[in-house]
């Protein structure tokens, strides 16, 4: 059996991540250095790259005797970053040693600042663990090369999990927590851009005791920021229109839907930053001020999707009937800057049939008088 000695210099030095990728306890490792190399953060990315640098010394760990399954798992994980194994000689306390290392493909990434493992663990460790779990769940059913374009979405889903750690108040509702829910066993689900998690579970009952075991599925989506642009000087709101796949698959003959500006919150991004970014991308708008409307689940009975809703105060002059969206995300968006009263008519007629937009317009109705006076 062929065994491999591997030099690790980046995120896989974080033991919890290495164990998640390997699917087993971390093997013993020894400190090592790769001469004439240095480690930097990849520009615009939450992971490192190693670069030739005369006189440099890249710090890392040497894992000896990895079997073929371990190397195959690491190959699958690293392929999503565009990294391949190369032969090198590293320095250890016992002298030089032959090893292999994952090197970025030429031109794949550009170097930013020197790599800081502790800083990365603090900001990106938990997010990367969640993303790695999704990557490794697809080993054997998806091509390693496909992981690269999915990684930002895996990170966004993991970030949603981190943001969920601060619950809403529990003043009226029960003080029970997830400690009062027991997952009995997983069942086959689905892993794609979205996930369907299937389990058998039980939970504590209001009257005491436990429920009977029950099979349940959950649609695992993302946290989203939504913005209703509003110009209090002209008393206009901006709606966007685009084709939506839910109405298509429901059988709705008119699947073009009026909605607020909306988009996924990227990993590490605040809901406010995502709202401002989406306003620029979808509507070519610079928001002057964000007012929080609500933070709420879209459909908690079966979905993790979570909405962060804002009113965006801005100047809407010249924004009616424009087109927007990103070609890279296959967006084809039309803008409608309309008087607030017209928006209320569309709510009452049912032409606005996206619940978040209805809620946001009705919220604006309760604050509109004050906003108009201040303008």
Active site (catalytic) residues: 329
Distances (CA, A) of 89 to 36, 70, 360: 11, 21, 61
Residue linked to tokens 């027991």: 182
* Tokens linked to 254: 């008119």
CB 336 within 8 A of CB 259: no
CB atoms inside a 10 Å sphere around CB 356: 19
Cα angle: 319, vertex 320, 324; to 5 degrees: 65
Task: Give dist(CA 310, CA 277) in Å, integer.
Answer: 13
285 burial type by CB count under 10 A (0-12 exposed, 13-18 middle, 19+ buried): buried
Neighbouring CB atoms inside 10 A of 92's CB total 15
Q: Which residues neighbour 341 within 8 Å (Cβ) at sequence distance 6 or greater?
A: none
Determine if residue 59 is left, alpha or beta; phi over 0 gives left, psi from -120 to 50 gives alpha, anything else beta.
beta
145 contact partners, CB below 8 Å, separation of at least 6: 79
Pairwise CA distance, residues 262 & 359, whole Å: 14
Both tokens of residue 308?
A: 């962060």
Residues ≥6 apart with Cβ < 8 Å to 304 = 160, 218, 219, 220, 221, 222, 297
E-only strand ranges, 214-305: 214-220, 223-231, 236-243, 256-259, 261-264, 289-297
CA 350 to chain centre: 32
């Amino acid at each position: 059996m062929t065994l491999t000695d591997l030099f690790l210099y980046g995120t896989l030095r974080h033991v919890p991540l290495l164990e998640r990728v390997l699917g087993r306890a971390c093997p013993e490792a020894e400190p090592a250095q790769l001469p004439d190399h240095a480690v930097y953060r990849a520009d615009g990315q939450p992971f490192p790259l190693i670069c030739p640098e005369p006189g440099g010394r890249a710090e890392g760990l040497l894992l000896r005797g990895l079997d073929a399954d371990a190397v195959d798992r690491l190959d699958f994980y690293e392929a999503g970053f565009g990294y391949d194994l190369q032969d090198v000689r590293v320095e250890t306390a016992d002298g030089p040693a032959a090893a292999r290392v994952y090197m970025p493909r030429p031109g794949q990434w550009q170097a930013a600042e020197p790599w800081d493992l502790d800083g990365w663990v603090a900001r990106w460790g938990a997010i990367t663990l969640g993303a790695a779990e999704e990557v490794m769940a697809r080993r054997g059913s998806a091509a390693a090369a496909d992981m690269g374009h999915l990684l930002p979405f895996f990170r966004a889903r993991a970030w949603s999990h981190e943001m969920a750690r601060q619950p809403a108040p529990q003043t009226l509702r029960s003080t029970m927590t997830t400690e009062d829910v027991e997952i009995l066993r997983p069942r086959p689900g689905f892993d794609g851009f979205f996930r369907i998690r299937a389990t058998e579970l039980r939970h504590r009952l209001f009257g005491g005791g436990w429920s009977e075991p029950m099979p349940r599925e959950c649609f695992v989506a993302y946290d989203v920021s939504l913005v209703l642009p509003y110009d209090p000087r002209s008393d206009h709101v901006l709606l966007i229109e685009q084709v939506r796949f839910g109405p298509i698959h429901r059988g709705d003959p008119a699947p073009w839907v009026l909605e607020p500006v909306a988009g996924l919150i990227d990993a590490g991004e605040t809901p406010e930053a995502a709202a401002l970014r989406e306003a620029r991308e979808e509507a070519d708008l610079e928001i002057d001020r964000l007012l929080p409307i609500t933070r709420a689940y879209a459909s908690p009975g079966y979905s993790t999707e979570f909405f962060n809703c804002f009113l965006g105060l801005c100047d809407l002059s010249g924004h009616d009937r424009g087109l927007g969206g990103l070609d890279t995300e296959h967006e084809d968006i039309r803008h409608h800057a309309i008087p607030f009263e017209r928006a209320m008519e569309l709510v009452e007629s049912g032409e606005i049939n996206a619940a978040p937009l209805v809620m946001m317009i009705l919220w604006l109705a309760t604050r509109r008088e004050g906003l108009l006076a201040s303008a």
